[in-house]
């Protein structure tokens, strides 16, 4: 779909784009084909697309995938897609807020691949939601703001390392990313984008139960980046248990969260959980309410 076609469709349909929904349509054919290629689709693969917009990526996915489930929040675009693909037997269109849909449905996406030009406003919470569910997709291929891509691929201790890095990398191994210039979109955003490719780990480092605890530990540790992690964690865990865990992992009490590796956070989670079970204490996360935590502010 060329830029002139996008402008004509929007004008003829009198569709006023909504800035709050992060509606920037990717129209560059080369970039669209690169994205589909990155997904390494097999003929039977089911694909989840979030924010299909006017459907240029959807069209390419329908030709390559076994089936496509596309979730569009904007009713006007949803109705446009219904008219654009009336004969597509392998397409299921859903009119919904994608984040709400994923939380409420709790489906098993383990055989699926996400291939999406994600709306900027919800890209991070959607990736976290997919990474933390029981049946996470096999592969994530997502176009998003370049600064979010840098956080997803950040090295431990680097300035871009943070909450998003750890919550997604716990379940996914970053493969590669490529830049998508702002000129490839309409309307043209103020920043460049990137397409990221992440592969689900063959063996999750933690069980689903411990993943909840991991999230509690990481979120508390990054709640105030300039503060020492030990002091922050004392709000939810006994100082004695923390001191023992830090000693076992050879973590100095003065360390800050961004200097702690993913593996160290995993080990810290295991030690704290084991100590908690041994003492018969209940979950310390009542203050954080992590299981139902709203992820829109990541």
Residue pair 81/93 in contact (Cβ under 8 Å)? The answer is: yes
Cα–Cα distance, 58 to 124 (Å, whole number): 21
Q: CA 144, CA 122: separation in Å to the nearest integer?
A: 10
Q: What is the pLDDT of residue 288?
A: 47
Q: Which of 134, 165, 200 lies at the terminal end of a domain, its last residue?
A: 200
Same domain, 193 and 212: no
Q: How confident is the model at residue 11 (pLDDT cuts 50, 70, 90)?
A: confident
| 295 or 36, which is more confident | 36
Chain-centre distance for alpha carbon 17: 24
Rounded Cα distance between 173 and 176, Å, is 10
How many beta carbons lie within 10 A of that of residue 117, not counting itself? 28
pLDDT for the residue numbered 284: 57
Supply the pLDDT for residue 14.
65
Last residue of a domain, one of 146, 177, 200: 200
Q: Work out the pLDDT band at 21, boundaries 50, 70, 90.
A: low
Per-residue pLDDT tens digits for 209-228: 999 999 999 999 999 988 99
By residue range, what is the domain housing residue 69?
Answer: 3-200
Boundary of a domain, candidates 147, 178, 200: 200
Residues 76 and 219 grouped into a single domain: no
* 230 plus 246 within the same structural domain: yes
Query: At residue 182, does pLDDT exceed 90?
Result: yes
**Average pLDDT value over all residues in the chain:** 90
In a domain, 297, yes or no: no
In the chain, pLDDT over 90 holds for what percent of residues? 78
Cis peptide bond upstream of 136, omega within 30:
no
In a domain, 298, yes or no: no
pLDDT digits (tens, 9 = 90+) for 112-153: 999 999 998 899 999 999 999 989 999 999 999 999 999 999
Tell me, what CATH number does 19's domain have? 3.40.50.150
Query: Does 164 lie in the same domain as 56?
Result: yes
* Least trusted range by pLDDT, from 19-23, 49-53, 116-120, 189-193: 19-23
pLDDT at position 285: 45
Residue 287 has pLDDT above 50, yes or no: no
């Amino acid at each position: 779909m060329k830029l002139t076609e996008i402008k004509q469709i929007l004008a003829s349909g009198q569709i006023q784009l909504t800035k709050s929904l992060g509606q920037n349509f990717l129209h560059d054919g080369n970039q669209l084909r690169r994205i589909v290629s990155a997904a390494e689709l097999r003929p039977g693969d089911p694909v989840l697309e979030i924010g299909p917009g006017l459907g240029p990526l959807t069209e390419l996915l329908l030709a390559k995938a076994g089936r496509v489930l596309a979730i569009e929040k904007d009713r006007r675009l949803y109705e446009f897609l219904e008219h654009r693909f009336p004969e597509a037997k392998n397409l299921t269109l859903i009119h919904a807020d994608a984040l709400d849909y994923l939380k409420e449905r709790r489906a098993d996406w383990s055989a699926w691949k996400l291939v999406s030009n994600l709306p900027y406003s919800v890209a991070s919470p959607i990736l976290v939601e997919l990474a933390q569910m029981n049946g996470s997709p096999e592969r994530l291929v997502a176009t998003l703001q370049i600064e979010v891509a840098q956080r997803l691929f950040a090295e431990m201790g680097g300035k871009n390392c943070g909450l998003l890095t750890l919550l997604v990398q716990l379940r996914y191994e970053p493969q590669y990313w490529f830049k998508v210039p702002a000129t490839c979109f309409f309307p043209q955003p103020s920043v460049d984008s990137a397409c990221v490719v992440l592969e689900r780990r063959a063996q999750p480092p933690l069980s689903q139960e411990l993943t909840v605890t991991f999230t509690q530990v990481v979120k508390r540790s990054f709640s105030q980046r300039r503060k020492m992690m030990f002091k922050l964690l004392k709000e939810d865990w006994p100082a004695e248990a923390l001191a023992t865990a830090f000693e076992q992992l050879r973590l100095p009490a003065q360390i800050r969260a961004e200097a702690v590796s993913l593996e160290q956070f995993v080990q810290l989670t295991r030690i704290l959980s084991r100590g908690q079970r041994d003492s018969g204490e209940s979950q310390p996360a009542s203050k954080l309410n992590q299981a139902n935590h709203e992820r829109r502010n990541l």
